[in-house]
A and B are shown apart, each in its own frame.
Chain A
Amino acid sequence: MQHYAMVINLNACVGCNACMAACAMENQTPVWSNKWRTYVHDIELTVGDSARRRFFPRLCNHCDNPPCMSVCPTGATRKLDNGIVFVDDATCMGCEACALACPYDARYTFEYRDVAAGKKFFGELIHRESPSMDKCSFCAHRVAAGQNPACVQTCVTSARIFGDLNDPNDYVARLVTSGVAKPLLPHLGTRPNVFYIGEINLG
């Protein structure tokens, strides 16, 4: 069985936002409310007068120990066998506990007005019928068809890399086990599956 994970190489991200657009189109996220499943942050770091610019893509970490799943009372949030933490939007009642539980701010609300707006925007192609909490699904539907998540597929610098931690030959697996790629906030015990290669630029 696969154990999907993503590596994000901060040295490669040019802040082009292609992943945000790809995800929105693939997953019909509510662009009209400016809520996204993934963000590319454009962060300025300064010491004194010097400045550095960091582009920081982030998304749901599909934790192995997901607090959002534990607190979910309806069972709408569940972890698939392949490691993806998935939200069943028909079951979810939208109590928002998962949003409070998530340390990574991965969740957002998909409300009645978003459903209405979505029907106008996407017409009969709209995937969902009911409001719910939502988040990145690692494009589980694409992964099921043997494809990469939309963000990974389009990333122009291949800053996002997708793979299987259970496959020792997998590039992502090697990046993670080598320690080059590290997770966020590991001390919280969430056991996330998105790993970052930090900037190694000393210039």
Chain B
Amino acid sequence: MSWMFPVLSRRNFFKASCGIAGLTLLKPSTSVASPAALPQDQAEKSYSICNFCSSLCNIEVTTRTIAGVKRVVKLDGNPHSTLNRGKICARGQSGLRQTYDTDRFKQPLIRVEGSQRGEMKFRAVSWQEAWEYIATRQKHAQIKPWEWTMIGGWTSCVFYMNWSVPFALANEIPNIVASPMQHCVATGHFGTDSLTGNFNIHDEVLPDYDHAKYILLIGNNASMGAVSTCRVVRFATALKNGAKVVAVDPRLSETAAKAHEWLAIRPGTDLEFSLALLKEMLDHGYYDSEFLRTYTNLPFLVYQDAQGQWQLARDAEKRPLAAEEGTNHIRTLPAYTNKNTRDVEGQPFYPALVAEDLVWEGRPVVTVFQAQQAEIKDCTPEWAEKITTIPAATIRRIAYEFGTTRPAIIDPGWHGARYGNIMMTRRVQAMIQTLNGGIDQEGGWVMSGEFHHKLEGFQHAKAHGEQLPAPMETLPGIEFVNMLVNALSKGENFSHGHPGWGWAYAAQQKAAGQPWVAVPAIADEGMKESIEGKLLWRGEKYQTRALFINAANPVRHYYSDAHWKEMMRHPNMELIICLEVLPSDTTPYVDVILPSSTYLERSEPNIYGNGVNSDLAVTTRYAAIEPLYDSAEAPDVLLELTRIISGAPERLFQAMERLTRLPAAAVQDALEKQRQAGHKAPFSRACREISFQVTAQRLGTTVENLDKILREKGVYPEAHWRDLLKTAGVPRKLPTTTPSGRLEFFSSIFEGLRMQGATGPHFNVLAGYFPAQCRADKSMDEPLAADEFYFTYGKTTTVSYGSTNSNNPVIAAINTLKKDLYTGVWIHPQRAAQLQIRHGDAIILTNTLSGQTAAGRAYLTRQIRPDTLFIHSSFGIENPQLTRSFGMGGTATNKLIPHIVEPVVAGFRSQEFTLRIAKA
């Protein structure tokens, strides 16, 4: 070895000189001691919850105090957490640099007189001046409660719903627009939810990858690749145990890179693939028939009415009917239960999945199972192959593998807002998962501890005819949605008689014979019309003139950006306030910016459940450091806004008492004490205090003990998931929150919407086919023009959705390192060559449907289908005050996507067009 040289240290010298038997190369001398560990005694640890995605990982925060200044130095996963098992992702690790981001808002800002919305021209003011400004504007413009709209982002939804919804009701503001409803929670998830009874599948189902033998991910990179840490740590076990992983995705995503098989499906054809899979499984018996008979409504009897619609056969009391296996005797089943094993008379019953030659009240009836088969009888693998480009033999094989390997997981999937038929695709996915019996089952989908906990309470109250208190905290699944929808959609709930403008607009559209949205919950459909004065309610204009934006960035992550800029700049818009941490692309369009603290500076005003963890536990945040700046907490801001809008802050306490567990009197007392002590954010502190009391009581312990455990471990464990399954598993132990209590293949929810007059394939009570409409008048398998592409987009592992954490210096550095990969437009080299586009070339993209254009840079890769373009949606930031995000390049996807929605929940159809590209 040329670089090795015998080292003549004193020790070696003697050794060498005393008999050199072969001049073997002596090891270099090593020093004895390791470098000293960093001064651990100055380090402190506290616990918190990460703020950068829905995994809600529990984190351990290390702080260090030097020269009297305490700083956060490191974040790690909380090793005591069974949710993320001591791990966090790149965003989690970098999170402390958001707190120390030099671009943060440090004090309240008011728009400079004479400047326009769109210009980032603000002047620093005191809180007093900011509130006075808001109060004056509110009064001067006489903004009515229904003319306010709250716009919430994910943070405000997850953590501050218990204030936002009471705020809305206390101030009689019926309007909330919140992401990610139209993006995923309402769209795709709603499809799954309609079968399982969940409200928000990816916050309520944590698939048990640990024990799964087969994992099928369709159009889903978010679970693994984007990263949902609580899922990935379990997926890692699956990989280690040799589970087979199949990823169906037009591009070679991070997930597909880990899969044994990457099926490069044509974008927009997931439904065809899924239906073919479903058909194969139903036709060939790849299902757990005992499970299906017992716990689903597949045995229910249905008939086709004169219009060809499937209707449930019901007795006089509206109870469902089923046929007995073998005898074909028709019996009545309980309307609400988890099991079909007893009829309404309590007799044992073994329902048939398939019944031939049945007649009921003169009509031919079949089972839902048979109806479903009939509904998709044309959805063969050969048919699917044509559109998806996945070979029929592969589809058959996957169906066989999935259907006969147990336990198996078809991962529920996330971003539903790509096509109008994704909701249906997710329904079909849920059906496929159900066919395997993999609902609330080891190795299958497992409901969260919180869901089980709420469900137990709900079912108990239902069985005893009791009213549940604190509906926001106690209603599980779809029941929660129902409550929220009922609250906001009915004008009679408000003294002013206005429902949310979304509902008013839907009614207006419906009356005019125009396309209308059946469940415009928390959506932006109709907002523009309201702002422009084109919406009428009971003959009068229903205007929207004021916005309160909390932790949301709609200019960047709603569609399109021009649409939102127009709305916010409209002369009818009197006042826009936002509560924000960093300058986003939305902040240039507001009038007042209120600085928010970051999560590490905050002791939460509430004790929360442990996210999607299958184990039941509670957790909260302890502030690691004092707030760096003159920032505010959301509850206190909402309280002050209540005072300004309604003049009666006590209404907020009352609304909270009605909806959450916090008793108004106790909260008010605590608030008074906090105020007298001169504490900042007194309302937030008061709520935390009472929350601790209420939670400790529920847990059967003391506040001191609860605090102690949370300080020492970060989580207070309540129950293990296996134990929860034994008592609250759905549907094996308890009915789920669907209207029938069973897992619903025939969807009562869509039946309900149908009864309200919603028609069309989106509202099919069964799984049915309708294509994505990416081509104006062609089917997807017809050739594209030479410069025409299908379009898909997705997340990076480093940036949360369209958020401002692209500005985090650590994140920005990683993104810069991989800049081409992350900010480029992915194009297959074959297509690029035909267009003479080389790697790195500047290109212009044009939406063939809307004419919208955007700029980009070509990234040539074979990791994308030749007929498709892919863009990471984390970039294209326009606000130069976000100094590290700005100038990163990339293409803002919402510059290319028009505002087109599907009719169920106004879910965005953000990929239903083609793009043309050209060299710039």
Contact = CB atoms under 8 A, between A and B. Distances in A.
B90 A78 contact: no
A14 B93 contact: no
B257 A53 contact: yes
Bin the interface of chain B by size.
Answer: 35 or more
A65 B25 CA distance: 11
Interface stretch (B453-461, B472-480, B808-816, B841-849): B808-816
A52 B817 contact: no
A67 B797 CA distance: 35
B560 interface: no
Given A26-B74, A79-B30, A140 B810 contact: no
A18 interface: yes
A34 B30 contact: no
Contacts of B813: 24, 31-32, 34
Residue in A14, A24, A143 with the greatest tally of chain B CB atoms within 10 Å:
A14
A17 B261 contact: no
Interface in A87-136: 88, 101, 121, 123-125, 127
A25 B96 contact: yes
Interface in B252-285: 252, 254-262
Contact of A16 (B90, B240, B262): B90
Interface stretch (A148-156, A162-170, A178-186): A148-156
Interface string B791-822: 00000011000000000011101101110010
Given A79-B30, A84-B34, A157 B90 contact: no
Interface string B17-40: 000000000001011111111101
Contacts of A65: 1, 4
Contacts of A31: 809-810, 813
Interface string B186-228: 0000000000000000000000000000000000000011010
B714 interface: no
Interface in A70-85: 70-71, 78-82, 84
B181 interface: no
A58 to B, nearest CB: 13
B825 to A, nearest CB: 16
Pick from B28, B96, B259, B862 the residue with the most CB of A within 10 Å. B862
A24 B94 CA distance: 9
Most interface-central of A34, A78, A154 (chain B CB within 10 A): A154
Interface in B65-113: 66-67, 69, 71, 73-77, 86-94, 96-97
Given A25-B93, A51-B252, A78-B31, A20 B233 contact: no
Interface residues of A, number: 65
B66 A125 contact: yes
A203 B401 CA distance: 15
B818 A101 contact: no
Nearest to A143: B34
Contacts of B809: 31-32, 121
A140 B34 contact: yes
Given A15-B254, A25-B810, A84-B34, A49 B862 contact: yes
A189 interface: yes
A12 B239 contact: yes
A174 interface: no
Given A46-B862, A144-B34, A154-B77, A125 B261 contact: no
Interface string A13-41: 01111101110111000011010100100
B537 to A, nearest CB: 48
A144 B37 CA distance: 6
Contact of B818 (A42, A127, A143, A158): A42
B83 to A, nearest CB: 12
B304 interface: no
A156 B74 contact: no
B230 to A, nearest CB: 9
Contact of A53 (B5, B69, B73, B252): B252
A173 interface: no
A69 interface: yes
A51 B262 CA distance: 10
A139 to B, nearest CB: 10
B830 A49 contact: yes
Closest 10 CB pairs of A and B: A51-B862, A21-B93, A157-B236, A53-B257, A31-B813, A21-B90, A70-B3, A17-B90, A144-B37, A203-B260
7 contacts: A14-B797, A15-B254, A18-B92, A18-B93, A20-B90, A25-B94, A124-B67
Interface of B: 1, 3-5, 28, 30-38, 40, 64, 66-67, 69, 71, 73-77, 86-94, 96-97, 224-225, 227, 229, 232-233, 235-236, 239-240, 252, 254-262, 797-798, 809-811, 813-814, 816-818, 821, 830, 861-863
